[in-house]
Amino acid sequence: MKQRSAAIVLLFLMLAPGAALIRGLQWSRHSQRYEREMQDPVPDPPDADRNAEFTFARLRYRSGFSGRGFGRSSWGVDANRADRLFELAIRRLTRIDTKSVEEVIDIDDGPMSDFPWLYAVEVGRWGISDEQGKRIRSFLDRGGFLMVDDFHGGYEWAVFMEGLKKIFPDRPVVEIPAEDQIFHLIGELDKNIQVPGAQYVRSGLTYERADGFPANWRGIYDDKGRLMVAICHNMDLGDAWQYADDPRYPERFASQALHVGVNYLTYAMTH
């Protein structure tokens, strides 16, 4: 464990120059058309146009929270800084050839089937139509993987489930067992760690809602036992990625979040 912690500290030191580069560049942006809906858009790195084996794909869905007056939409929370820093971590921790910029996949007409991985954030606010649900279901049935993150408490769980039933009216949500491969691929995940959002720096609390504890590791499996949907409830991995190089945010949470993401991505690419 001491060697693993030392490796993570080294990773942060290696990430810092890349993060500084992300903040410092000032030319055209890959996801510029969506920036007004993003919480933390950053300029592109020099290799933004280079194709790669894997691209971080973020789902752009509709919700009642339009972003008016806040400058962002629910789907764009932590974007796209979190996406870029997570992609840096993938490059450091794996041999997966990873694109340095994300793709935003619109739920209605985005090229969803071109990507093996789809990430959706703040799904306690999403709204899914029947047609959108069928589209995501088709993506998952063909071998796609959906990871959902950053929603908290019973109310947001109910909103999430209302949308999820449009995708899977016939499959149950279950607890992911501790022996599942997804917890043991690149790093050994500690399911007892609740990864908090940035509020932890201010309040010291790991939860965002009074009923937002403990962390729940849930999912949906296909008939062959492949995990299709990974549900990170009462966690905020996106914040941990976004602030991975911020000295105010605790390393132990950033480390857990990076390991969760890398394990889930590796699973999606190999199953």
| pLDDT range class, residue 64, cuts 50, 70, 90 | low
Model confidence, pTM:
0.88
Structure tokens at 187: 């790093």
**What's the whole-number mean pLDDT along residues 161-181?**
97
Structure tokens at 56: 């971080």
| Percent of the chain at pLDDT exceeding 70 | 86
**What's the whole-number mean pLDDT along residues 237-250?**
96
How much is the pLDDT for 28? 64
Helices (H), the chain: 2-24, 81-93, 130-141, 153-167, 199-203, 237-242, 251-270
Structural domains present in the chain: 2-26+48-270 (3.40.50.12140)
Name, in order, each residue with C-beta under 8 angstroms of 68's C-beta and a sequence gap of 6 or more.
none
pLDDT digits over 10-50, tens only? 444 444 444 444 444 444 679 999 999 999 999 999 999 99
